[in-house]
Amino acid sequence: TWGRVKQQLLEAVGRNDYANWIEPLQLKKVDNGVAHFSVPTSFMANWVSRNFADQILMHLKASKVPASRVDFKVEVARPAQDAPTEATAAPVEQTSALATSTPEVEVADLPSAPLDARFTFDNFVVGKPNELAHAAARRVGEGGPVTFNPLFLYGGVGLGKTHLMHAIAHEIKQRDPEARVLYLSAEQFMYRFVQALRDRQMMDFKQLFRSVDVLMVDDVQFIAGKDSTQEEFFHTFNALVDQGKQIIISADRAPGEIKDLEDRIKSRLQCGLVVDLHPTDYELRLGILQTKAENYRTQYPGLVFAEGVLEFLAHRITTNVRVLEGALMRLFAFASLVGREITMDLAQECLADILKASDRKVTVEEIQRRVSEHYSIRLSDMIGPKRVRVIARPRQVAMYLSKQLTSRSLPEIGRRFGGRDHTTVMHGVRRIEELQTTDSQMFEDVEMLRRALEG
């Protein structure tokens, strides 16, 4: 029955959400009106329960499953040295994630954020772009005398910072189960800090954070501009370093480049080892795909990849590893539903949106060129000062398309239009939005340009 319900859910939520959130669910039992599911991570438990519980319940009922409530339990695969996969590792029951509706799961006395059991060193594929970060993380995970303190990992979205941090935590805990490892995001740090202030529990807060052996703070750029949180973070940091405790930090950019972060914190962050994760290259992407595909094959033994499909994906999806993984997950889910071999055609059909999005990166410069050609004005007038309408209007069209087709922010777009202010850009964008509803020529022009640019 669950198979049939899943099929209905696939139709209801779409392939993408299905692959990410529904497919990994396992219906364990239905008992006293409660449908018990297991999920691989507590994050997933939270997310699914918040976003999909109603729909799941509805479809269960429609299929005459006697359930009036759903419950998601985290079943963590124990991170082990010998290449664990979700399918083979022994599941360990964790405390129920959501039945009690508390957002934080792992408690004991250390309020560490839950660790993803799949984020181990064994599951981390090493290539040129990440080998230094990986080596540094491994070294810190091995323990011994604290050499790199703090270890500062930085890099773009989806390149493996969180994965490496969790891997370090798993490693340390495995070697020394008594070790007090506290992993949390900078956001959670702030949240706890504010809560402690509000509840007048600052003493407890300080004591707690100063009593850990290893402190890991993920995405530290989040506390930029949050003055009192920074202050507290700074003191925590210093106290731990003084005690010779290990600190591991991640951010989306180098310490010196985090705006609105106090200088003394920047220099503190820089005084250990700073390593970055570079954007992936083709070999690394292929390696990651091969590893993950291998893991999937233990779950779906019947599924085969046609020659060249993984290579194709590694070529075409260059944004971040999370997108790459999502694509693979979706392919497997889809292929397992329809029972087809994963061919190039299937990949193109099933991943059309992802492929398109990561396919062509339209630049503001390209947009300016196309638009000026279309309206027969000079390219230099795009960035020049002229304000006559025959020039200003095409410029606004180019601004509008830049906003629509690139990921640039308004100030960034303004800079590329001869240093114009972001409010000017915003005004231009709005103007073209309006005109498209009243002026059919404008509508056609914009549509044509958009199609030409998107290719």
Give the interface with ligand ADP as residue ranges (CB under 6 A). Answer: 119, 123-125, 130, 155, 157-163, 288, 321-322, 325
How far apart are the C-alpha atoms of 152 and 163, rounded to whole Å?
A: 14
Residue 230 DSSP SS3: helix
Token digits of residue 89? 């590792």
Q: Which residue is nearest to ligand ADP (CB)?
A: 160
262 binds, among ligand ADP, Mg ion, none (CB under 5 to 8 A by kind): none
Residue 191 Cβ vs Mg ion, minimum distance, rounded to whole Å: 17
Tokens 């809560």, residue?
195
Rounded to the nearest whole angstrom, what is the least distance from the CB of residue 220 to ligand ADP in the complex?
12
Annotated binding site for ATP: 158, 160-162
- What tokens were used for 277? 């994760």
77 binding partner (options Mg ion, ligand ADP, none; Cβ < 5 to 8 Å by kind): none
* 83 contact choice in ligand ADP, Mg ion, none (CB below 5 to 8 Å, kind-dependent): none
Q: Confirm or reject binding of residue 185 to Mg ion (CB under 5 A).
A: no
Asked if 239 and 215 count as a contact pair (C-beta separation under 8 A), the reply is no
According to the binding rule CB under 5 A, does residue 20 interact with Mg ion? no
Residues 325, 5: Cα–Cα separation, whole Å: 25
Nearer to ligand ADP, 257 or 433 (CB): 257
Comparing CB distances to Mg ion, the nearer of 258 and 371 is 258
Q: Rounded to whole angstroms, how far apart are CA atoms 230 and 26?
A: 42
Cα–Cα distance between 155 and 161 in angstroms, integer? 7
Q: For residues 40 and 428, which CB has a smaller minimum distance to Mg ion in the complex?
A: 40
Instruction: With beta carbons less than 8 A apart as the criterion, state whether 89 and 52 touch.
Output: no
Please choose which of ligand ADP, Mg ion, none residue 288 contacts, taking the beta carbon within 5 to 8 angstroms, the exact cut-off set by kind. ligand ADP
Which CB, 186 or 432, lies closer to ligand ADP? 186
Of residues 7, 116, 2, the one with CA closest to residue 70? 2
Binding-site residues, in ranges, read: 158, 160-162
Least distance CB 337 / ligand ADP (angstroms): 22
Whole-angstrom distance, CA of residue 359 vs CA of residue 206: 48
CB of 43 or CB of 443, closer to Mg ion:
43
Distance CA 134, CA 79 (A): 18
In whole angstroms, the minimum distance from the beta carbon of 206 to ligand ADP comes to 28
Check the CA dihedral 375-378-381-387 and report its sign: negative
State the nearest-atom distance from the C-beta of 138 to Mg ion, in Å.
18
Identify which of residues 74 and 164 has a Cβ nearer to Mg ion in the complex. Answer: 164
Toward ligand ADP, which CB reaches closer, 42 or 396? Answer: 42
Query: From the CB of 325, what's the least distance to ligand ADP, in Å?
Result: 5
Written as one letter, the residue type at 327 is: A
Interface with Mg ion, residue 123, by CB under 5 A: no
List the one residue from 112, 162, 229, 406 that touches Mg ion (CB under 5 A). Answer: 162
How does DSSP assign 233-300, residue by residue? HHHHHHHHHHTT-EEEEEESS-GGG-TT--HHHHHHHHTSEEEEEPPP-HHHHHHHHHHHHHHHHHHS
- Choosing among Mg ion, ligand ADP, none, which partner's interface includes residue 436 (Cβ < 5 to 8 Å by kind)? none
Question: Minimal CB distance to Mg ion: which residue?
Answer: 162
Q: How far apart are CA 313 and CA 111, in angstroms?
A: 39
Stretch that binds Mg ion, among 82-90, 134-142, 155-163, 295-303 (CB under 5 A): 155-163
Q: Which residues bind Mg ion (CB under 5 A)?
A: 161-162
